[in-house]
Structure 1
Amino acid sequence: MTTISDPDELVVAIEAPLLDREKSRSRLAVAVCVGLTLFALLNATAAVFLYRGINDLRAIEARLEDLGQFEQRMSARLDTVNNGFQSRFEALDDRLRASFGEVNANLARQAPDMSGNHGGDEPRVVEFPSPAEDTAAVASATEAEPAVEDMPRVTRRRQASAAPPAPSSNYQRTVSPEGKVTYHKIN
């Protein structure tokens, strides 16, 4: 066992390092300086990132303005192309109407000729020429025909495609008043 002879000496020895005011003030000043330095570094880092973000935002805004101008230019070009196609379609429509008018006029001219050539109940007699006469007639017809370039262009209608196959008996066909056809599965 240890015995302490003077209890006051021990208290003074313990209080001296812990309660030294000069050292504690300097430690506090160092801690405050370190804290302020860290705070300043944090603010500087945030300011740099904020500045970069603002510059990126300005660059994006400039590109968006360029994009708006690009859109206007494209819209103007599309309108020009659309007007060009529309005028071509109108010209084609006019030519087709003129061609159909010529065809209708030719049919109207040929209709009375066809009805006047033969009587109603009388059978028509068709005489075929002999081969010698046939070749002579073909040769004279080819000389009398106009050149291919002078002939009007005739458009042909396409044959309608075959009807679609009948649907399975598992489906019910419904036709709406607008003419739309729908199929519903029967369970």
Structure 2
Amino acid sequence: MLKSIFLGLLPVVCAVTPVAAQSLERAEAAYFRGDYADAMEMMLPLAEEGDRHAQYLIGFMHERGQGVPKDPAKGAEWYGRAAERGNPFAQNNLGVLYKHGRGVSQDYVMAYKWFDLAASGYLPAELGHRERAVLNQQDIVAKMTPEQVSEAQKLAEEFREANAGFADRPPRVR
């Protein structure tokens, strides 16, 4: 009985993923042609459903004021959602906001944590992004005490342990 229910639902479950991917692709296409209002309208439902790439892009749009009023605090909120779901681009950008105190209180420990996670979360093909996260991390260390560095490393490790599945992120799912 349960097997037949599962097999009956399988086509529906499988059909959801391509539709969501196509929706994100359309939203990205709108974003890259500069149609930020349409991009936001298409991305918001995806982001609210937990799509970490859509969350990252919404954070980026708020931080930069693309199609919405510039609001680093909203950018940090959306980056935070994506970062918590393992998006290394959001993790790095959230680290930058913490480093400079834009949209969040300046916090070198949190900046280091997010830079550390971003540096270890990028795929091999994203080497340039990884290097940027490492440089950000090195820059912030110079402003921290050894105790702060230790605390930040502990926070990053706790996050990794609690979210071990994020290391298997497929290339297209940022």
Normalising by the smaller structure, the TM-score range is under 0.3
TM-score by length of 1: 0.21
TM-score by length of 2: 0.22
- The structure with the largest alpha-carbon Rg is 1
Higher helix proportion (structure 1 or 2):
2
User: Which of the pair has the greater relative contact order for Cα pairs under 8 Å at 6+ separation?
Assistant: 2
Higher strand proportion (structure 1 or 2):
1
